[in-house]
Every structure is written in structure tokens, then in C-alpha cells.
Amino acid sequence: MTTLVRLAGRAAYWRRSGKSAAPGGLGLFTQRQRAFQGVRMENWSGKSGRGALVVLEGLDRSGKSSQCARLLSFLESKGCQAEGWRFPDRGTSVGQMISAYLANESQLDDRTIHLLFSANRWEKRDLMESKLLSGTTLIVDRYSYSGVAFSAAKGLDLEWCKAPEVGLLAPDLVIYLDVQPEKAAERGGYGGERYEKIEFQKRVAEHYHSLHDSTWKVVDGSLPMETVEEQLRELATSCIQECQGKPLANLAW
Ligand code: DGP
């Protein structure tokens, strides 16, 4: 019965958020073939070398999921082998515990849930690596930076939060969709889950800013959707081309 309630809750969540869910975290976005709009794709080599690990980060309701779906459709329409992933991956047993926690159906100690989020990424690490090495680009909605920023916003030590992420695959590109917490809160579907509170999101934003490194590109997420989409296309296209020949690396932190 409890499982049924949780599954129903998850289905409601996915409907509310407009996100599509699929078991195992793969192929999560619908395939929409979109017209080529301005990004030059000469010397496209996404099919022959390794794929790129492209991560989108940002506050809740910053537009990540919509932009991931749009970017994936664009890459597919250009013949790039690409998949959409998201973390937390609620399709695993660890992911179901996380989902129940986020829906306030269960209570967990802050460090315990932090380690579960991390475990949820670790259980997908090998599959991510084999996909990337076989030439598939992964567009990932949230990753270790969410892990650190959200837990640190609860008051946990930043270095302690980073530790379990060390050894996961390092992204080739992190795109941070920058939206003011107040603006994000005005968007549909806000407030249904545990962390969707403006004061908390402000602290998350501060911690995100402390994590910026050379792989980060900040995009103004309050611009029109099409403008943001265009910027993401250009960033991802350059990244896919530039990471050819570069070995995969691990998060070092
Ligand atoms: P999403 O499915 O992207 O809406 O994410 C669900 C919520 O979980 C959202 O408020 C952000 C939060 N979150 C995502 N990843 C992590 C993580 O690794 N650790 C913590 N503490 N929170 C996370």
C-alpha cells in the first residue's frame, strides 16, 4: 500500500512539474525534431569520439528541465548521439527513498539524505562512463553541485558535503541557469516539495556561487526561453567539439 501511495505521489509530481519520467534515468525527454537555428555545426564530430558530459544546474523552477529537453531535441536533430538524464534518478530504490523524503513522506537526518543523493549518482557512474566512452553525449539535469549547494544550505560543512562526490565523473560543461529565487517562485508548480521555499533557495544560490569553476557558464535564466535556448545550443555545441580527444576526468574538489 505504502509503495502504491509513493508511486502515485511520484506520478503526480511528474505531472505537476511537466517532467517526463522513465525507469533507469534514460531517455527522459521526448524527442522533438527542431529546425536548425543559427548554430554552426561544421566539423561536427560528436559521432566518432567520446560524448560530452553537459550538466545544467540552478535553483528549483529555474527552467533546467525545459531547457534540457530543448537542447536534447536540438542535438538529436543535428545527428548527435545524445541522451537526457536527471538526478535524483527516482527510478532506483535509492531514488524512491529520496523521492519520499522530498515529498515530506519520510524524515531523514540531513547527512543521511545527503549520502543517499550521492549514492544515487554513484549507482549510475559506470553506466554514464560507458555511454560517454561509446560516443553518447549526456545532458544531465542536476548533478553533484546540487548535492553540495542544497545540503550546505542546511548548514552542513561545505567540505564534508563535497567529499562523497569525489571520484564521480567531472562534467565537461556546467551551465548554471541564473534566476532570482523570487522570480523562480512565481513559476508554476512551486512549493510542492521540501526545498521549495524562497529563503532556503537564497542560501542554495549563495552556495552555488561558491562552486563556480572554469567549467561553469552562467546563463541568465530570466531571458526569453528562446534566447536561453540559443545560448545553450552554442555552449553545448562548442563543448562537444572541444572535448574530443580529451580524456574523461573525475571530480577532484
Ligand atoms: P528536481 O527533481 O530537479 O526538481 O530536484 C528535486 C529537489 O531535490 C530539488 O529541490 C533539488 C533537490 N536536490 C537535487 N539534488 C540534490 C542533492 O544531491 N542533494 C540535496 N540535498 N538536494 C538535492
Q: At what angle do helices 225-242 and 64-77 cross, to 10 degrees?
A: 60
pTM for the model: 0.85
Per-residue pLDDT at 39: 42
Cell of 163: 567529499
Measured in angstroms, how far is the CA atom of residue 60 from the centroid of ligand 1? Answer: 8
Tens of pLDDT, residue by residue, the chain (253 residues): 333 333 333 333 333 333 333 333 333 443 333 333 344 444 454 445 999 999 999 999 999 999 999 999 999 999 999 999 999 999 999 999 999 999 999 999 999 999 999 999 999 999 999 999 999 999 999 999 999 999 999 999 999 999 999 999 999 999 999 999 999 999 988 989 999 999 999 999 999 999 999 999 999 999 999 999 999 999 999 999 999 889 999 999 9
Measured in angstroms, how far is the CA atom of residue 151 from the centroid of ligand 1? Answer: 9
Per-residue pLDDT at 44: 52
Cβ–Cβ under 8 Å, residues 9 and 97: no
DSSP secondary structure, 63-124, as one string: SHHHHHHHHHHHHHHTT--EEEEESS-TTSHHHHHHHHHHTTSS---HHHHHHHHHHHHHTT
Which ligand 1 atom is nearest residue 17's CA?
4
Where are the domains positioned within the chain? 50-242
Q: What is the pLDDT of residues 27-68, one digit of tens each?
A: 344 333 333 334 444 445 444 599 999 999 999 999 999 999
Measured in angstroms, how far is the CA atom of residue 41 from the centroid of ligand 1? Answer: 33
Per-residue pLDDT at 48: 58
Measured in angstroms, how far is the CA atom of residue 196 from the centroid of ligand 1? Answer: 10
Per-residue pLDDT at 137: 98
Select from 176, 165, 130, 160 the least CA-distant residue to 250: 165
Q: Which fold has domain 50-242?
A: Rossmann fold (3.40.50)
Q: How far apart are CA 150 and CA 20, in angstroms?
A: 23
Which ligand 1 atom is nearest residue 113's CA?
21
CB within 6 Å of ligand 1 — which residues?
Answer: 60, 87-88, 102, 114, 117, 142, 146-147, 150-151, 193, 195
Q: Which helix (H) or strand (E) holds 58?
A: strand 53-58
Per-residue pLDDT at 1: 32
Which ligand 1 atom is nearest residue 154's CA?
21
Compute the mean pLDDT over every residue in the chain, rounded to the nearest whole number.
Answer: 86
> Which residue is closest in CA terms to ligand 1's atom 19?
147
Q: Which helix (H) or strand (E) holds 32?
A: none
